[in-house]
Structure 1
Amino acid sequence: MEDARLETHPDLMDPEWRKRAEREARLGAKKDRKRQRKQRPRRRFRMTRRVVVGLFVIGTVALLGATAVVMHQMRGSADPGPQPPKAAPVLTGVDLDRPFDRTPAANWREGTAGITVPAGQAVGGFSAQEVDAAYRKVTEAISAARLGSRALRDHDGSELLALLAPNERARLEAMLTSAPTVEKGSYLTLLGSNRLLPARPRMTGFLTAKAGRKGELIVHASYVTAYAFDVRPGDARSPVDIVPFVRDEEDYVLRKAPFAKGDAGLSLGASSGFTSRMACDAIKTGILAPQYADKDRPLVGPPVADEVAAYDPTKPLPSLDTCR
């Protein structure tokens, strides 16, 4: 039987053929290695190009993103972001919601809260409690005369009259319930056709007490009141056109025994005053009106530098006539 095994093939058994086959195999292997070496750089180049392209794309995206961030930050540094709406221009030149701004009364308190009332101390024959009660009575009288709606709106002095001693009430009743006059205007603030804004009048001042005759206590009130008037568009150019000031130096006299019953209580003593930034035509009739109500009359009065002193209750009353 013929031997079919590969290792016993006649060619394989020939030494010369085996040497030639081995040499050709080695040469073939070398050629394969050369082909592999030549092919590897091409594969490596293709891979590197894809990586470079990928890195370029990624880098470009990152650069664009970074640029966007920088641009956003740059915009942020120049633009502070959403801002509250700016105030609308005031056509009249004044802010009717804040009429006392840019006037001497800007920091004063509303009403009689602006009047400093000291703690009661015994004075003469009046105890500390009686002095406290006198301060309260005087504060009520100031409120009735300068802030009360009956006086301001109706020219009615009945609210002040109700606080007075019987004989003092009888003395002043006819004048305080009559039509407006300059004399009546010295006791009460009276308004004409010009109406106040809703803003409550502002005040500054103080009270002091001293002994009078036996059974008398004199409370001195030194204070200023500022009123804010409504205005039509175009009638006022600045806050001083709508805010007049009334300064008062007043003595209030409280009496008790040995005074008679008719004189016991509150009476009105000596007083003086000063009004500024008002309409001159109106004040000559006892009426307080804003300065803009005088259409053709320029203001004549203390220079601006003196206005701080003019409205300071601790300083002497100005002597200039603002309506000459």
Structure 2
Amino acid sequence: MDDYDIENHPDLMDPDWRRHAEKEAWVDVRRNRRRGKWLKWLVTSAIVVVVVVGAGAGLYVWGKSTAEQSTDADVGAPASSSVVTTEAAPTELPEEGHVDLTRPFEDTPAQNWAEGIAGLTIPAAAKVGSFSAKQVGQAEDQVKQAITVAQFDPDTLDRHNPAKYVALIAPAERPDIQADPRGYMIFLADGYHLLPVSPRMTGAMTVKAGRTGELLIHTSYVVAYAFDPGDHPVDGPGDLVPFVRVDADYAVRSGSQWQASSRGLTVDKTSSYYDSVACTNDEKLTPAFSERDYSGTSVSPEPGRFDPSKPMPTLDNCHSTPG
């Protein structure tokens, strides 16, 4: 037999082996589709699987067992996400790789982002139109507080209680938010919890004058959350770190030209994009590791996925983003 005639190798001619190889290959295809990325390679035959196995490029399975690979001093130590690497962060999520549950954002686009609301760049308060610097600063603080409650507050995330957020909004706008709070804030899926590290954030706020007595504030940001995988196997950081991109327009209104119920903070428009999430739960944020075999449609990665300075993507890894 020709040494280079690999297609006729006895192992490849075994029908049982070929069926097993094809099954394993399609599991990878489904996983890549779930993450909403173009496949980096296309499985065309069992030969590809042979090459991968021969090269030793197997998938790592990480869960709570990750702790077993740490030193005794590391086990039980409080997790800290305050350590930020100086290395450049990747612009894409790796398909698979090592996961350190004490530093879950390593090797992700959120690697060097700040913790929580500190990642939102807020301009220094300055006079805008008829609004004084003090009034602008107060309006910025209102929006900052609303985002903090919507994206980071445990009452919102874990207990699905919109009361804190609703209380920050002008009375006329509250019924709409109470009727469907999911468009304004993040609820974590029941039974899934974050690791004891702060979510990471990047983004910016801009301010301009609107109509008389109206200050318009635009925010564009991305938040990364790190879920505790528990006993679930994960292949890489994308399995437990979902990203939420938000563009939101707020208005702060004051003065007699506005009805009393419309004065204060309102949300004029908001749109969002989700990446590396489970697609079977549209109501709440669910990590990708919860659905191992989801076979949703793959979409082309867009530059705005992890960069709020870019236009909002039109597709997430599950469905279209509302306009």
Normalised by the length of structure 2, the TM-score is: 0.66
Aligned match of 2:185: 188
User: Partners in 2 of 1:198 and 1:299 — Cα distance?
Assistant: 30
Distance 1:312-1:230 versus aligned 2 partners, 3 A rule: same
Aligned match of 2:196: 198
Cα pair 2:177 2:184 within 8 Å, conserved: no
Aligned match of 1:265: 264
Cα pair 2:302 2:313 within 8 Å, conserved: no
1:88 CA displacement: 6.1
Amino acid at match of 1:313: P
Aligned match of 2:223: 225
Higher relative contact order structure (alpha carbons within 8 Å, sequence separation ≥ 6): 2
User: Partners in 2 of 1:301 and 1:121 — Cα distance?
Assistant: 45
What is the identity percentage for the equivalent residue pairs of Structure 1 and Structure 2? Answer: 41
1:123 to 128, 133, 139: 128
Cα pair 2:303 2:313 within 8 Å, conserved: no
1:294 to 283, 291, 294: 291
Which secondary structure does the structure 2 equivalent of 1:141 belong to? helix
Amino acid at match of 2:234: A
RMSD over aligned Cα, in angstroms? 2.0
Aligned match of 2:69: 89
Cα pair 1:104 1:308 within 8 Å, conserved: no
User: Partners in 1 of 2:184 and 2:298 — Cα distance?
Assistant: 23
Which secondary structure does the structure 2 equivalent of 1:167 belong to? helix
User: Partners in 1 of 2:227 and 2:296 — Cα distance?
Assistant: 17
1:134 corresponds to 2:139: yes
1:314 to 309, 315, 319: 309
Deviation readout 1:6-60 (Å, 9 max, x if unpaired): xxxxxxxxxxxxxxxxxxxxxxxxxxxxxxxxxxxxxxxxxxxxxxxxxxxxxxx
Cα pair 1:277 1:299 within 8 Å, conserved: no
Deviation readout 1:99-137 (Å, 9 max, x if unpaired): 000111000000000000011122222111111111111
Higher helix share: 1
1:227 CA displacement: 0.3
Amino acid at match of 1:148: D
Deviation readout 1:230-270 (Å, 9 max, x if unpaired): 01345211011000000000011100012122211101111
Distance 1:111-1:280 versus aligned 2 partners, 3 A rule: same
Alignment gaps of 5+ in structure 1: 1-86, 176-182
Cα pair 1:226 1:246 within 8 Å, conserved: yes
Aligned match of 2:206: 208
Which secondary structure does the structure 1 equivalent of 2:204 belong to? strand
Cα pair 1:217 1:255 within 8 Å, conserved: yes
Distance 1:234-1:264 versus aligned 2 partners, 3 A rule: closer
1:185 CA displacement: 2.0
Distance 1:279-1:224 versus aligned 2 partners, 3 A rule: same
Which secondary structure does the structure 2 equivalent of 1:280 belong to? coil
Which secondary structure does the structure 1 equivalent of 2:69 belong to? coil
Cα pair 1:190 1:287 within 8 Å, conserved: yes
User: Partners in 2 of 1:170 and 1:291 — Cα distance?
Assistant: 32
Cα pair 2:244 2:275 within 8 Å, conserved: yes
User: Partners in 2 of 1:147 and 1:251 — Cα distance?
Assistant: 19
Aligned match of 2:117: 112
User: Partners in 1 of 2:159 and 2:315 — Cα distance?
Assistant: 30
1:301 CA displacement: 4.7
1:323 corresponds to 2:322: no
User: Partners in 2 of 1:308 and 1:212 — Cα distance?
Assistant: 30
